[in-house]
């Protein structure tokens, strides 16, 4: 990795510095060329910063931001009050070239609005789309977008999501002609909303996209497609339901502290089912935390607001790998080839 | 159970008689007062019917229906060609009072259209809603509707779903003042579509419903609400994603035939983790197969088109318990108390 700086909104999300700073420590240990610009409330963050080694602290610049954006505010009010907030200052750091990308666990709507205003969408992109790599049962990943940045999306926007997702999969998953599907409530041509049906017909005509057709929610984890396209409402509901279901089922295999019998069972289980455990680990939603606002001039990653430090660390990794892979530039260049067809 | 007759569309779904007839056999064994009217292709069904005992065959009337509805047809064409089809004749049997309810694994849209036309919605109900009991982690169930009968739903319809779901939960889950939530992509007042936000505000004002607020997809299995209300698109995507995720994770613990080592592991696992297995079984989507078209004058249950015989059997059980609980009558009576408020 070449020298990189990541800006973090330390206050975003449900747990703030308590989970962000330990994630920072892990990331610093993993990447010797990485440094951080941290934006947050110094008093709240200090106890956690004190846990870092001197070497780790040298690679951190902490900027005190007393202002916070309440998640309950209407969007317009939140934006007006955003000046000096940890989220806004992290985005500004990217806009001003002080950082190569940023990560925040704060409100998606505010992040989207601020990022669009301060960093700007790529030329010809109407609306950025929240994009994640979702886990599949064979240990690989599918690209899924939009996951909640756009509650509604028309045919033109869904087509842009398809094109951006296609390039993202080519670069991040190293695929040639990635298989693409449109999320719907059935697989026949006549299923779903008019917008989805129209987009389906239009994508079927495209020779430059490997469009397979509709995919239903129950097949999301089966790696039937490399890119899954949807509007933000469907995508958000599908992703959250997926995460909740997987986490809930995995929780069966967690033990409670102090319960020796269970602890013994747990290790016995791990011993016998090593292979299963490895697989279960692969599909753990924490490892897939982080959705990028695809279609911006720089990398902006939204972490799950309820993320723990492990999950937040994966959101940092996700941002780093996109910066290294020059995703914004690749999207910008790649869209050119679809230009005359879109 | 008093004497009951259930009409079945034997040809609906992906597997037809191969899974329906064994489910019929199980149901007949479970309920001595139950009989079936079966509608399907006699030649295809005969080999499976031959497997039934003489006593089972006595409680079955098989009606040959050569006509089938292709799932690929546009709705209008499908309806025109539905005359004499297994699905339509099963619904007609209910409409004519020959059967107390029916189950079909065929197309949701066709089933909804035929049921609305032949059986009719209850007075004051605009649109029936597909309603299921979804599994939760504590072994209980939540009522969820609509699961795909109405791709779009306005505030008035969502409110009717809430009222019907409330009565359904009272009767089927034996609850007083069931807790209710609205599916959305966030829990703050400003999240989601305008329709969902408006419905949220209206439900908050109701004293006759125990409305808690928004629920997100990742909490569906956590029994935070007894009734979960949504439009058919969100609901269908959420339910299918939930089923797919749970089934996929559970599949880790299935063994392949002939693999002795795995077989040994499987039994070892079951022995040690008896309690977990019981829990895993409880959340198996097969056990929750069947969505009822709530708001009709009779019980019409849609089985998952990909259901196996075990899952189809649970759809039969679901229909039976609704008939016994007189759900259509209870909904009709119960809506009266909401009358002046709706």
B185, B218, B276 ranked by CB distance to A244: nearest: B218
What is residue A9's DSSP assignment?
A: E
CB A91 within 8 A of CB A102: yes
pLDDT band per the 50, 70, 90 thresholds, residue B62: very high
Could you give the angle at the alpha carbon of A103 between the alpha carbons of A102 and A106, nearest 5°?
125
In which order are the strands placed within the sheet that holds A34-40? A60-64, A34-40, A4-9, A101-104, A299-302, A291-294, A129-135, A141-145, A227-229, A179-183, A210-215
- ipTM, two decimals, is 0.86
Please say if the pLDDT value at position A256 is more than 50: no
Are A109 and A249 members of one domain? no
pLDDT for residue B119: 94
CB contact under 8 A, B192 and A249: no
Mean pLDDT over each residue of chain A, to the nearest integer: 90
Position B257 scores a pLDDT of 45
Is the domain of A219 the same as that of A243? yes
Claim to verify: residue B159 and residue B275 sit in the same structural domain: yes
Nearest CA in chain A to B231: A234
Q: According to the model, what pLDDT value does residue A262 have?
A: 64
Give the pLDDT confidence score for residue B74 in this predicted structure. Answer: 82
Same domain? B82 vs B165: no
A32 or A281: which leads in pLDDT: A32
Same domain assignment for residues A194 and A322: no
Nearest to B75 among A190, A253, A269 (CB): A190
Provide the residue count of chain A: 342
Are the beta carbons of B234 and A237 separated by less than 8 Å? yes
**Is B249 in contact with A249 (Cβ distance < 8 A)?**
yes
Rounded CA separation A225/A178 (Å): 8
Which chain B residue shows the shortest CA-CA distance from A147? B185
State the average pLDDT over residues A179-192: 93
Of A192, A237, A272, the CB nearest to B151: A192
Q: What is the mean pLDDT of residues B197-216?
A: 96
pLDDT band of A336, cuts 50, 70, 90: confident
Instruction: Report the pLDDT value the prediction gives residue A272, as an integer from 0 to 100.
Output: 62
For chain B, what is the domain count? 2
Q: pLDDT tens, B106-115?
A: 999 999 999 9
Domain end among B271, B289, B307: B289
- Same domain? For A170 and A25 the reply is no
3-state secondary structure of B144: strand
Q: Do B237 and B193 meet the contact criterion of CB atoms below 8 Å apart? A: no
Question: Is the confidence at residue A41, as pLDDT, over 90?
Answer: yes
Percent of chain B clearing pLDDT 90 (strictly above)? 73
Distance separating alpha carbons of residues B123 and A321, to the nearest angstrom:
58
Residue A218 and residue A267 in one domain: yes
| pLDDT at residue A186 is higher than 70 | yes
**Quick one: A171 and A242 in the same domain?**
yes
Q: Calculate mean pLDDT across residues A59-76.
A: 87
What average pLDDT does the segment B71-85 reach? 86
pLDDT band at B269 (very low <50, low <70, confident <90, very high): low
B13 burial type by CB count under 10 A (0-12 exposed, 13-18 middle, 19+ buried)? buried
Task: Please check the confidence at residue A131 and state whether its pLDDT lies above 90.
Answer: yes
Residues 6+ apart with CB under 8 A from A110: A69, A75, A78, A79, A82, A87
d(C-alpha A254, C-alpha A248), whole Å = 10
**So what's the pLDDT on residue B274?**
64
The boundaries of the domain holding residue B137 are 129-289
Contact B148 A244 (CB under 8 A): no
Q: Tell me: do A17 and A93 sit in the same domain.
A: yes
A190-202: burial string, b at 16+ Cβ within 10 Å, e else: bbbbebbbebbee
**pLDDT tens-digit map of A192-240:** 999 999 999 999 999 999 999 999 999 999 999 999 999 999 999 999 9
Q: Do A241 and B246 touch (CB under 8 A)?
A: no
Closest CA to A215 of A176, A240, A185: A185
Q: Do B151 and A72 touch (CB under 8 A)?
A: no
Tell me the average pLDDT across B103-122.
93
Output the domain CATH number for residue B255.
Answer: 3.40.718.10
The upper half-sphere exposure of residue A67, i.e. CA atoms within 13 Å in the direction of its Cβ, equals: 14
Question: Is B253 in Cβ contact with A249 (below 8 Å)?
Answer: no
State the nearest Cα–Cα gap between A236 and chain B, in angstroms: 6
Please check the confidence at residue B259 and state whether its pLDDT lies above 70. no
Average pLDDT, chain B: 90
Q: CA dist B313 to A81, A280, B24, B230, Å?
A: 57, 31, 7, 27
pLDDT for B262: 64
Look at A72-81, A308-317, B100-109, B299-308 and tell me which has the smallest mean pLDDT: A72-81
Residue B337 has pLDDT above 90, yes or no: no
**Rounded to whole angstroms, how far apart are CA atoms A333 and A154?**
23
pLDDT, average across residues B261-266 = 64
Shared domain check, A56 and A146: no
**Two structure tokens written together for A221:** 């984890």
Nearest chain B CA: its distance from A258 CA (Å) = 18
Q: How confident is the model at residue A253 (pLDDT cuts 50, 70, 90)?
A: low
* The residue count for chain B: 342
Token pair in block for residue A88:
């806004």
Q: What is the pTM of this model?
A: 0.89
**Cβ of A193 and B233 within 8 Å?**
yes
Structure tokens at B140: 């209980």
Residue A263 binned pLDDT confidence (cut-offs 50, 70, 90): low
Q: Does residue A258 have a pLDDT over 70?
A: no
Looking at residue B223, its pLDDT comes to 96
Closest Cβ–Cβ partner in B186, B188, B249 for A250 = B249
Whole-number pLDDT of residue B341: 45
Strand partners, B61: B37
User: Which residue of A lies nearest to B243 if distances are taken between CA atoms?
Assistant: A218
Residue of B nearest to A246 (CA): B245
Q: Are residues A207 and A60 in the same domain?
A: no
Do B182 and B245 belong together in one domain? yes
Average pLDDT over residues A40-50: 96
């Amino acid at each position: 990795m070449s020298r990189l700086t990541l800006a973090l909104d330390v206050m975003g999300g449900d747990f703030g510095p308590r989970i962000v700073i330990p994630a920072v420590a892990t990331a610093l240990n993993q990447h010797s060329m990485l440094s951080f610009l941290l934006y947050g409330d110094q008093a709240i963050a200090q106890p956690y910063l004190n846990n870092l080694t001197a070497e780790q602290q040298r690679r951190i610049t902490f900027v005190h931001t007393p202002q916070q954006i309440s998640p309950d505010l209407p969007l317009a009010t939140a934006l007006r009050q955003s000046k000096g907030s940890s989220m806004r200052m992290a985005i500004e750091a990217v806009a001003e070239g002080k950082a190569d990308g940023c990560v925040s666990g704060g409100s998606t709507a505010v992040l989207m609005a601020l990022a669009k205003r301060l960093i700007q969408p790529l030329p010809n992109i109407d609306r950025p789309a929240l994009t994640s790599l979702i886990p599949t049962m064979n240990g690989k990943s599918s690209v899924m977008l939009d996951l909640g940045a756009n509650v509604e999306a028309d045919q033109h926007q869904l087509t842009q999501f398809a094109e951006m997702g296609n390039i993202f999969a080519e670069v991040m998953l190293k695929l040639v002609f990635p298989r693409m599907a449109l999320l719907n409530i059935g697989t026949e041509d006549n299923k779903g909303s008019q917008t989805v049906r129209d987009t389906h017909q239009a994508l079927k005509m495209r020779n430059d996209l490997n469009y397979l057709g509709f995919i239903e929610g129950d097949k999301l984890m089966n790696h039937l497609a490399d890119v899954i396209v949807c509007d933000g409402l469907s995508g958000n509901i599908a992703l959250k339901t997926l995460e909740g279901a997987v986490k809930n089922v995995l929780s069966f295999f967690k033990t409670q502290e102090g319960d020796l019998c269970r602890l013994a069972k747990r290790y016995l289980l791990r011993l016998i089912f090593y292979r299963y455990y490895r697989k279960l680990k692969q599909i753990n939603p924490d490892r897939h935390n982080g959705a990028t606002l695809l279609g911006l001039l720089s990398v902006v990653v939204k972490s799950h607001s309820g993320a723990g430090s492990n999950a937040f660390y994966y959101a940092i990794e996700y941002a780093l790998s996109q910066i290294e892979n020059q995703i914004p530039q690749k999207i910008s260049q790649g869209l050119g080839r679809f230009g005359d067809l879109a």
